[in-house]
Amino acid sequence: MADTLDRSGPSPTGDLSPADPGAGPASGEVALLAAVQDAVARDGWSGDAVVATARGMSLFGEHAAGWLVIGLAGAALDRPRRREWLGSAAAVAFAHGASIGVKRVVRRRRPEHPSVRVLVGTPSRLSFPSSHATSTTAAAVLYGGLLGRRRTPLAVVGLMALSRLVLGVHYPSDVATGTALGAAVGAVARRVLRRRATNRPLSVRKATA
């Protein structure tokens, strides 16, 4: 059973076609998930664009790779704050790893209901919490602070969370918990990094400027 859940998720369907009307009634989080997908499916061409964007975000956030690349790029371009960028990227990686650890303990299966269409492949069948939401929120908290733009990154958090529902690979509670976990890791890491930057000797700060 454990080995099965650690394998890649079910093969995605080709599009967001309407759900099978003969499927059994959905309830709770499954009903909410199906409602999100049905709303997108009704938009026709716009809905296709939404799904394509969600798939792109899924690829960007897989294993937190996109966010780690941004952190490394920040370290290369912003030399005076190189340590802060590298520390932030390390914290994003830690947040992602923490979400994987929770998944292996909780072992909640991804949504499996006829009314939910799976629109992207996943590295495992484990669902709780969303690692995409976790790493994205941690990156938003940390990188947003370094860039001085806190609202824009937070908007990305909402888009990433919504994309996981559109793609049918997470329950709403998965993304909500992932967001909370990422925010907690990001807040703690930002406090630690600020303290280290403040306590760094002035001579060292001038040398890196």
pLDDT at 163 over 50: yes
Q: Is the dihedral of CA 135, 59, 82, 94 positive or negative?
A: positive
pLDDT digits (tens, 9 = 90+) for 56-72: 999 999 999 999 999 99
Q: Does the residue 11 lie in any domain?
A: no
pLDDT digits (tens, 9 = 90+) for 73-108: 999 999 999 999 999 999 999 999 999 999 999 999
- The CATH number linked to 119 is 1.10.606.20
Q: Does the residue 1 lie in any domain?
A: no
- Average pLDDT in the chain: 86
Amino acid at 160: M
Count: domains in the chain = 1
Domain residue limits at 100: 24-208
Q: Does the residue 7 lie in any domain?
A: no
Q: Does the residue 19 lie in any domain?
A: no
Q: Does the residue 17 lie in any domain?
A: no
Q: Does the residue 3 lie in any domain?
A: no
pLDDT at 10 over 70: no
